Structure 1
Amino acid sequence: MAPSPKRLGKKIIGYPEQVVPVVSVKDWLLPFTQNPVQHVINYFYRLFPIIGWISRYNLGWLTGDLIAGFTVGIVVVPQSMSYAQIATLPVQYGLYSSFIGTLIYCFFATSKDVSIGPVAVMSLTVSQIIAHVDEAHPGKWEGPEIATTVAFISGFVVLGIGLLRLGWLVEFIPAPAVSGFMTGSAINIAAGQVPGLMGISGFNTRAATYQVIINTLKGLPRTTKDAAFGLTGLFTLYAIRILCDYFTKRFPRRARVFFFLSVFRNAFVIIILTIASWLYTRHRGGTKGKFPIKILGTVPAGLQHVGQPTIDPELVSALAGELPVATIILLLEHIAISKSFGRINDYKIDPNQELIAIGVTNTVGSCFAAYPATGSFSRSALKSKSGVRTPAAGILSAIVVIVALYGLTPAFFWIPNAALSAVIIHAVADLVASPPQVYSYWRVSPLEFLIWAAAVLVTVFSTIEIGVYVSVCVSLALLLVRVAHPRGYFLGKVTLRMSGRKEQREVFVPLAKDGVTNPEINVTPPAPGVIVYRFEESYLYPNASIVNSALVDYVKANMRRGKDMSTVNLRDRPWNDPGPRRGEADMERERNAKLPDLHAVVLDFSTVSHIDTTATQALIDTRNQIERWTNHPVEFHFASILSSWIRRALIAGGFGVGASSSKLTYEIAAVVPYRDGLGDGPIGHLNRNSPQESDDIEKGIGGLQQGKESINSGKTRDESGFEPVLPLETPFFHLDLESAVRAAESGLAEKCT
């Protein structure tokens, strides 16, 4: 039965009775044009997730947030001062960043666990940026001004990425790459803090890690009294942590008590060492204030630099080359942390909204002289374990920080620098990937393990900046290699039978041993003259030629050549295909006669989610090359097409419609189209069809009715009471691979009869 006129689409000019698919550009634009006012409302509603949960806030949530907020606040004060030292900034700037980060984030957050503020890796990056600018323009700008400018510009860039909903760009960087440069950075930071822990000076602690380690070992004889405070603090931090972990396992009912004892270890160590420092140095400062150990010194109270930030265009130009790495670290670390805790605690984060939150935090933070802040792994883990219920816990953390800024700065004067180095080393040690984690990278993907190792080694032996670029570039290169060199298999059939049951079914598996299916089973090839090929990747311009070569080479090696080249004069043979040599013609003819004549190629598109113009042209080239080899038309069947846009592209290339191949397009992506009036095809193209063949699409449909899938439908039916699942206008598109192969083999049977 021919399809009714209402089911036919518009004809494509230049094609025989060929119809366009149902999908159109208008269909693609339709979701964006329907109810635009509601889209705008939803967009702005998503900008402030707090609207969705603040109206349901209750006393139970408040209790959890108070505990978590206070706990994080106690930890963030010493950590932010320590990280400010890494950034080569006065310690108050770390407090400014932590105050703004914990306060602003809760209004835009989609993660309840993440704690925003100064972090070790970002602080080290800021120190390198300051050093770079100061080296190029000595003394022109102060460190805080440079750091604030970095916060404003990088925050603005991240905010723009979030507002434009481009957060998916972060997905191009895999977890091993992030872990690699985080591990390398942690080693870099820890190595740079050991001299401060021991009181060793006289060399650049921000050089390459291996140089810092070598110089530290050389400087051990110059160890000062600072080591007594630093080593004691570091030992105490680990002792409290280990003991609390032990007692948690020993007395699980008291686990929460030991957890909070462990949480306060940073504050406890800083308080004890500050008291010890005050007792030891208060009468040893002399008239010039030279103390026997290095102490923090004067910390200005309160917020000293509130106001509109001054952004010097010349300064922006000077640090422009350093901004990309700062921006990458800013968004990468935060997204990785927020996703991790969302996965652990069973809630979904919005990457775009998280980027907006980070962007707003840093742009607003520049009005308070804050330096770049992002998500902290250690504080986020602490916040999560403390029982945080909503992002509002950050408000209490901000209150703790501001109280410290206005009320505790006189006490900060006596904090030993070695104690802050101990806090930093203890904190960044958790960023180093554990051996089981590294081994899991190797087990899952050895190539990704190499990315991790490369990121670590480059970071250790050069800088964090180069480590970030290497990990990102190598990850993108690996992605391109995987896309450009996809796996694909020629398939055969095996019969599955359920034990204890009579039912059996056929499935398609690779003809060659693939390391997945049992090598002992016998795979039955499809009927002679039928080829079944499965793609393992989207069909795009990077891999189009690979797939083309695989199909054409297989046909030339396993299918009969339609034209006997031994009968063709040497002068008429193509230069790249001279045919058999003298004396080998009979042998070649005999071998060729034993090969099956190709009738149909079945392509499994079940894993193809996209196809582009270059790939469509490559598929046309494949068809043309195969038909030149067979010297007659070959059917191309397609199974399990996932997208109406793939269907549209294939029809545009002349596939699926059952039209005579002599009328199909020869070139859809012409780089230099023919303009000589000789037609679209090259002179001398094979006349693959006799003039008696009909170009009517309905003839092709009628011949394939029995192989076309149908299903019982309550709508329009044919005489049998069934409605086709797929349109009759595309008889070579099939619902699944089994029906595609069946249709191809049935056509072969008709041809033989």
Structure 2
Amino acid sequence: MSDPAHTTAARPTQHAADIIIDYEQDDYRKQSQEFFQNLPHYIQEYFISLFPIATWIHRYNLQWLIRDLIAGATVGVVIVPQSMGYAKIAQLPAQYGLYTAFVGLCVYCLFATSKDISIGPTAVMSLLVGQTVTRITAEYDTISGPQIAVALSLLTGAIAMFIGLVRLGILVDFIPGPAIAGFMTGSAITISIGQWPKLFGIKGINTQDSSYLIFGNFFKNLPNTKLDVAFGLSGLIWLYGVRYGCTWLGKRYPKYATHFFFLSIMRNGVLVIFGTLIAFLINIGKSTSPISILKTVPAGFQAMSVPHVSTDLISAVASSLPSGVIILILEHVAIAKSFGRINDYSIDPNQEIIAIGFTNIWAAFFGAYPSTGSFSRTAIKARSGVKTPIAGIFSALVVILALYALTPAFYFIPDATLAAVVIHAVSDLVSGPAYVKRLAKVSLWELFVFVAGVIITFFTTVEYGIYASVGLSIVILLFRIARPRFWSLGRIPLSSTTSAPLSDSKESQSEQQYLYVPQSHPTLGKLVEDLPAGILMCRIDESFTYPNSGFISDRIIAYCKERTRRHQQFISKGDRAWNDDANPIRDAERASLPRLHALVIDFASVNRLDSSGLQAIVDAQTALNRYAGQHVEFHFSNILHPAIRRSLIVSGFADQPRSGFEHENDDNQMTEILPIVPVSKDGPLQRQATTATGTQDIEQVIETHDAYDKKLDFGNSSDEDSVNTAHSIPLPRDRYPFFHWSADEAVRTASQTLIYRPTGDSEPQAPSAGIEEAHH
């Protein structure tokens, strides 16, 4: 990045000096030397940033410990039943959910930049793993579900960690919120429908089919409902009743809001305990359980081993890796950012991706399947008053307790109760009507992305839902870049302001200023008036790069041709180009239009200009020069980045011909190239008055320019005015006459050379009229 060098050029008057803008050229050699000199420091900072715990662990205290203990234990009570339910969705035994929960909770604190996030099995990732397990086990008899789960955890973790280490977290920003909400909502609906058969105790339905098939088969087999429905429906009634009841009571009695919150959090654990107790009682003395129960859950970490990932296994899971990585990163980073904003701290997306990558690599050694951040558990953790990521260790201790001490009690947990816990948990992932209405009001395209994600996930799989919503979002983004908005601008006179005196006398003169708006503006469009004849202005609302350069160039040319006339009104049939559809009638109608003199392009929204965009501007100017039969000045206003200005200088837009015009001789050759305006350290020189047809009244032009220059000097010798403008500056002017810091300045500058343009095909315009327009 180059540093702007501001040069103040003093003028032999008593008025404040103009500020002339120029920029130093980038010294790449110096920048390279500085980079290599600081490289050891950069490497040191990079490695320190990999372990954020080192920046805050020395401040850890007893009060933080107590709050982390409460929050961790609270999340632990919730995660145990959820993990076993999610493992069922992943088509794995219940203990694999506990393995996944333990590793995520235990390891994440070393790399975390978010205090609130809770790592573990999630509904959407479990659904993806379950669909992958079902697909691969149907094709390969030698590959088991746990092997697939471990391979997914290891490979997705490795890919995510690589993305974080090379700082490619910016890729997350290319996937918008509606795409995430779409496949999350579709996944939540899919998971809920997939739990209906377990909720009602209906056997024989493949819950890994597409949701619409499960939906139809469920109602087809509804008469086969078993006793499980009593556990399932009563569990849902309990979960939602306690949730909404505690919320209402917390608002009704704010003094006890904290007590009601913790009572609400305990609803999952209470449901599982009572459901298990009742199931145990009804199974006393029976050899076969009348309801579907969890049965044996092995104690401890039975699946710990070094992951064995063969080439056949890698090729089998390869198609699920992209969607798995997307879910890992998106779900985690989106939740971390959300709670960071809520609780007033910032996260490092790259570091969070590293954390989730390392967590899943390490989890593969425990037999776990991929884990990421959970929205519901993170919300509980934040509400519980968590202070640091160490709270995850206390949640992990609860999981350890469940694995080693409570597994005998898990035998009689009803599957219908776990299904109720899962359905209740995933309901928070569904975007409600308020979100859909807001999308419809903001952008129909984003609504389309959201709906497409939901529908495709519902009718196919979560993988296709992710690919479709993300793909559509990228296509829409590329379309917006390739087809940016192009505005033709007009101006509206503003209330006059009093400018500085033109001489030592106290007389002041009103200077008209304008507001430049699109001519199609819904409110101000009827007030817009045209710019001076032969001068046009447009605005481009996007970076000028290779995807849109041709489109913008065509729009510029079409816009200028629509509002100006050709320099040759009548062309013989033999000389007419093959693609020229001109006809005498239309040419006669356009005869009253002016010839194009100058085009002002507002670059306020252009933050990048590449070689293709630059060439497109050159091509547009060449085409318009040929159309107008004279050199068309291109002026640029509001150039915000030095690199864009430098690119325009390289292409010759800083020193275009100004004081006269080129004309064609009888052989249709452009001749008599006229001098350009020289560059001055004092800013643009605008006093050259020699034209192709002779010399105008130079003194008159100089006098007009002196008056105009004095009007630009807003500082003056008046004591009262000097107090009012103590912190003000005159309008900055660029070193080159075609770059401007305001649209008014660009139009006035273009108007100053309009006096030398011919009014017809051969006669020049009267000097007085042009001077009046320039002065105006």
Q: Name the TM-score, length of structure 1 as normaliser.
A: 0.87
Cα gap change, 1:65/1:40 in structure 2, threshold over 3 Å: closer, same or farther?
same
Cα gap change, 1:380/1:691 in structure 2, threshold over 3 Å: closer, same or farther?
closer
Cα gap change, 1:279/1:69 in structure 2, threshold over 3 Å: closer, same or farther?
same
Q: Deviation per CA, 1:645-703: give whole Å up to 9, x if none.
A: 21222223221233589999xxxxxxxxxxxxxxxxxxx99644514546966699433
Alignment partner of 1:257 is 2:259:
yes
The within-5 A match list for 1:167-178 is 167-178=169-180
In the alignment, the residues of structure 1 paired with residue 674 and residue 244 of structure 2 have an alpha-carbon distance, to the nearest angstrom, of 88
Instruction: Give the drift of 1:571.
Output: 2.1
C-alpha contact (below 8 Å) 2:200/2:226 kept by paired residues: yes
C-alpha contact (below 8 Å) 1:638/1:732 kept by paired residues: yes
C-alpha contact (below 8 Å) 2:684/2:734 kept by paired residues: no
C-alpha contact (below 8 Å) 1:293/1:416 kept by paired residues: yes
Q: Deviation per CA, 1:93-126: give whole Å up to 9, x if none.
A: 1111111101111111111111000001100100
In the alignment, the residues of structure 2 paired with residue 377 and residue 625 of structure 1 have an alpha-carbon distance, to the nearest angstrom, of 57
Q: Which of 94, 97, 108 matches 2:97?
A: 94
In the other structure, the counterpart of 1:703 is 686
Cα gap change, 1:30/1:340 in structure 2, threshold over 3 Å: closer, same or farther?
farther
Q: Which amino acid aligns with 1:425?
A: I
Instruction: Give the drift of 1:606.
Output: 0.6
Q: Deviation per CA, 1:13-55: give whole Å up to 9, x if none.
A: xxxxxx9972365577577445111111111121111111111
Alignment partner of 1:123 is 2:130:
no
Alignment partner of 1:306 is 2:312:
no
Secondary structure of the residue aligned to 1:540 is: coil
Q: Which moved more, 1:212-221 or 1:60-69?
A: 60-69
Instruction: Give the drift of 1:150.
Output: 0.3
In the other structure, the counterpart of 1:506 is 513
The within-5 A match list for 1:548-587 is 548-566=553-571, 569-577=572-580, 579-581=582-584, 584=585
C-alpha contact (below 8 Å) 2:496/2:513 kept by paired residues: no
In the alignment, the residues of structure 1 paired with residue 512 and residue 116 of structure 2 have an alpha-carbon distance, to the nearest angstrom, of 50
Secondary structure of the residue aligned to 2:412 is: coil
C-alpha contact (below 8 Å) 2:660/2:674 kept by paired residues: no
Cα gap change, 1:659/1:393 in structure 2, threshold over 3 Å: closer, same or farther?
farther
In the other structure, the counterpart of 1:202 is 204
In the alignment, the residues of structure 2 paired with residue 217 and residue 497 of structure 1 have an alpha-carbon distance, to the nearest angstrom, of 72
C-alpha contact (below 8 Å) 1:490/1:532 kept by paired residues: yes
Q: Which of 119, 131, 136 matches 1:133?
A: 136
Cα gap change, 1:396/1:704 in structure 2, threshold over 3 Å: closer, same or farther?
farther
Q: Which of 404, 419, 422 matches 1:421?
A: 419
Cα gap change, 1:724/1:66 in structure 2, threshold over 3 Å: closer, same or farther?
same
Instruction: Give the drift of 1:565.
Output: 3.1
Q: Deviation per CA, 1:594-622: give whole Å up to 9, x if none.
A: 21122111111011011112111111110
Secondary structure of the residue aligned to 1:703 is: coil
Cα gap change, 1:492/1:603 in structure 2, threshold over 3 Å: closer, same or farther?
same
Q: Which amino acid aligns with 1:575?
A: W
Q: Which of 59, 62, 73 matches 2:65?
A: 62
Alignment partner of 1:734 is 2:740:
yes
C-alpha contact (below 8 Å) 1:662/1:687 kept by paired residues: no
Instruction: Give the drift of 1:506.
Output: 3.5
Secondary structure of the residue aligned to 1:306 is: coil
In the alignment, the residues of structure 1 paired with residue 313 and residue 30 of structure 2 have an alpha-carbon distance, to the nearest angstrom, of 48
Q: Name the TM-score, length of structure 2 as normaliser.
A: 0.84
Q: Which amino acid aligns with 1:648?
A: R
Secondary structure of the residue aligned to 1:565 is: coil
Alignment partner of 1:474 is 2:472:
yes
Instruction: Give the drift of 1:580.
Output: 3.1
Q: Which amino acid aligns with 2:378?
A: S
Q: Which moved more, 1:211-220 or 1:274-283?
A: 274-283
In the other structure, the counterpart of 2:230 is 228
Q: Deviation per CA, 1:350-370: give whole Å up to 9, x if none.
A: 111111111010001111111
In the alignment, the residues of structure 1 paired with residue 213 and residue 186 of structure 2 have an alpha-carbon distance, to the nearest angstrom, of 14
Q: Which amino acid aligns with 1:68?
A: A
Q: Which of 179, 196, 203 matches 2:181?
A: 179
Q: Which of 32, 38, 54 matches 1:51?
A: 54
Cα gap change, 1:644/1:460 in structure 2, threshold over 3 Å: closer, same or farther?
same
In the other structure, the counterpart of 1:645 is 643
In the alignment, the residues of structure 2 paired with residue 118 and residue 578 of structure 1 have an alpha-carbon distance, to the nearest angstrom, of 66
In the other structure, the counterpart of 2:365 is 367
Alignment partner of 1:193 is 2:199:
no
Structure 1 vs Structure 2: percent identity of aligned residues? 44
Instruction: Give the drift of 1:65.
Output: 1.1
Instruction: Give the drift of 1:375.
Output: 0.6
Residue ranges of structure 1 left out of the alignment (5+ in a row): 1-5, 8-18, 665-683, 713-721
Instruction: Give the drift of 1:59.
Output: 2.5
Q: Which amino acid aligns with 1:75?
A: V
C-alpha contact (below 8 Å) 1:662/1:688 kept by paired residues: no
Q: Which amino acid aligns with 1:690?
A: E
The within-5 A match list for 1:347-426 is 347-426=345-424
Instruction: Give the drift of 1:134.
Output: 1.1
In the alignment, the residues of structure 2 paired with residue 698 and residue 250 of structure 1 have an alpha-carbon distance, to the nearest angstrom, of 75
Alignment partner of 1:431 is 2:414:
no
Q: Which amino acid aligns with 1:554?
A: Y
C-alpha contact (below 8 Å) 2:677/2:686 kept by paired residues: no
Q: Which amino acid aligns with 1:235?
A: I
In the other structure, the counterpart of 1:11 is none
Instruction: Give the drift of 1:626.
Output: 0.5
The within-5 A match list for 1:511-550 is 511-515=518-522, 517-519=523-525, 521-550=526-555
Q: Which amino acid aligns with 2:216?
A: I
Alignment partner of 1:748 is 2:730:
no
Cα gap change, 1:509/1:149 in structure 2, threshold over 3 Å: closer, same or farther?
same
Secondary structure of the residue aligned to 2:636 is: strand
C-alpha contact (below 8 Å) 1:182/1:431 kept by paired residues: yes
Secondary structure of the residue aligned to 1:489 is: strand
Q: Which of 315, 318, 321 matches 1:317?
A: 315
Secondary structure of the residue aligned to 1:269 is: helix
In the alignment, the residues of structure 2 paired with residue 170 and residue 44 of structure 1 have an alpha-carbon distance, to the nearest angstrom, of 23
Instruction: Give the drift of 1:570.
Output: 2.5
Q: Which of 234, 239, 248 matches 1:246?
A: 248
Instruction: Give the drift of 1:308.
Output: 2.2
C-alpha contact (below 8 Å) 2:536/2:598 kept by paired residues: yes
